[in-house]
Amino acid sequence: MQKLLVIVTILVLATPGCLDNLQEKLVSCENITGQCRYEILSANDYSKLHIEINYVTGNAPDSEALNLLKQRIQEVTDKTSISVSQSSFGSTDNSYTLEEILEIENNQRTQSKSGNKFVIHILYLNGEYEDNDQTLGLAYSGSSFALFKEKIEDSAFLLISSTDIEKSVIVHEFGHILGLVNNGYQSPHNHEDSQHPHHSDNDESVMYWAIESQDIGNQIDGEPPNNFDSDDLDDLRLMKEGKL
């Protein structure tokens, strides 16, 4: 018994890095959507933000959508720099379960938060989300979300281009990893849609539920919103100040 204790002690002393990593992973905000809001909004722990994008060949992000995302990040966070990297990968699949999405991220993602840099990961997929084929985007962890590029292209209607929709969806999913609306915090404003949890009840907010649904054309008049409304912005400000 004593001998075993000695061996265990030596192992603990010999591998402090591994244990630290394991412990960090167990308590990491990255396991739960919305839980990294403070790390993303504030510059206290991470002053820089990097966006790593992996896209299925032929489904690259629209540069206007990426520029808008960077602009929104600049507007709502205290980050001093925002960088983007992207690379493509092949896929023979065209219908993805959440498990498959997690596996793809695991295989493709090369960067995680370290030092003074927080990393957000975005997957651009072809095909559809298997659990709900109306889905245009999906935030599924504390630092990552997926967009369904072909679904976004299919959703273009009348004078509203797929670029307009992609701009809205990418900001919407970013809003979800910030915890909007009421995901892990309670807003002082009454703006959560009771019919659609964690979404805004204002159809002029980018956090309106239909933004990430292929039904967007039937639910929204004109160009879809791609910015947060005053209640969203106030929630984000309070979060950044550590008050929510």
CB 109 to Zn ion: min, Å: 22
Orientation of helix 16-27 relative to helix 2-14, angle to 10°: 80
- 232: contact with Zn ion by CB under 5 A: no
**CA-CA distance, 79 to 87, in Å (whole number)?**
24
Query: Looking at 72-80, 107-115, 204-212, 225-233, which segment touches Zn ion (CB under 5 A)?
Result: 204-212
As a whole number of angstroms, the distance between CA 126 and CA 118 comes to: 27
Closest to Zn ion by CB, 52 or 212 = 212
Q: What is the size of the binding site for Zn ion (CB under 5 A)?
A: 1
| CB-CB contact of 212 with 137 (8 Å) | yes
Residues 161-180 within binding reach of Zn ion (CB under 5 A): none
Query: In 3D, which of 178, 30, 170, 173 has the Cα closest to residue 111?
Result: 30
Quick one: 113 or 128, whose CB is closer to Zn ion? 128
The least CB distance from residue 37 to Zn ion, in Å, is 15
| Candidate ranges 66-74, 115-123, 150-158, 211-219; the one touching Zn ion (CB under 5 A) | 211-219
Residue 212 interacts with Zn ion (CB under 5 A): yes or no:
yes
Q: What are phi and psi of 105, to 5 degrees?
A: -60, -45
Helix or strand run (H / E) with residue 113: none
| CB nearer to Zn ion: pick between 121 and 172 | 172
User: Which window, 12-20, 46-54, 73-81, 207-215, contacts Zn ion (CB under 5 A)?
Assistant: 207-215
Residue 142 CB, nearest approach to Zn ion (Å): 16
* Piece of 54-62, 82-90, 205-213, 236-244 that binds Zn ion (CB under 5 A): 205-213
Residue 105 or 212: which CB sits closer to Zn ion?
A: 212
Identify which of residues 62 and 212 has a Cβ nearer to Zn ion in the complex: 212
- Between 76 and 113, whose beta carbon lies closer to Zn ion? 76
Taking the C-alpha atoms of residue 65 and residue 165, their distance in angstroms, rounded to an integer, is: 9
**Helical residues (DSSP H) of the chain, grouped into ranges:** 2-14, 16-27, 37-41, 63-76, 98-108, 149-154, 162-177, 216-219, 230-240
Q: Helix, strand, coil shares of the chain as percentages rounded to 5?
A: 40, 20, 40
Binding site for Zn ion (CB under 5 A): 212
